[in-house]
Amino acid sequence: MSVSGTHLLRHQLLTQRQIRCMEKLPDDHTLVSARNGAPIVRGPDGQLLRVQPDGRLAATISVERVQSYLHVHG
């Protein structure tokens, strides 16, 4: 796994299973985020995967950035 995003985990507590899972990921996986104690990695095909506390990978949904209707000026 690419270590370019490891600074994202600086203040996150990970389980031993999450750590082992991330250590075993191929180099074509990149850490992109961490949310609620779950690292989010991007696979080579662009799919986002969440590393669950039990160390298993789970597909996540991609959320597009949208502008809030409160900030739209017409």
Domain-wise residue ranges, the chain? 6-63
Task: Dump pLDDT digits (tens) for 16-71.
Answer: 999 899 999 999 999 988 887 789 999 999 999 999 999 999 998 765 555 555 65
Measure the CA–CA gap between 59 and 45, rounded to whole angstroms: 12
* pLDDT of 57: 94
Q: Is 14 helix (H, G, I), strand (E, B) or coil?
A: coil
Measure the CA–CA gap between 69 and 74, rounded to whole angstroms: 10
* pLDDT of 33: 85
Residue 16 CB contacts under 8 Å (≥ 6 apart), including other chains: none
- What single-letter amino acid sits at 5? G
State the average pLDDT over residues 3-26: 76
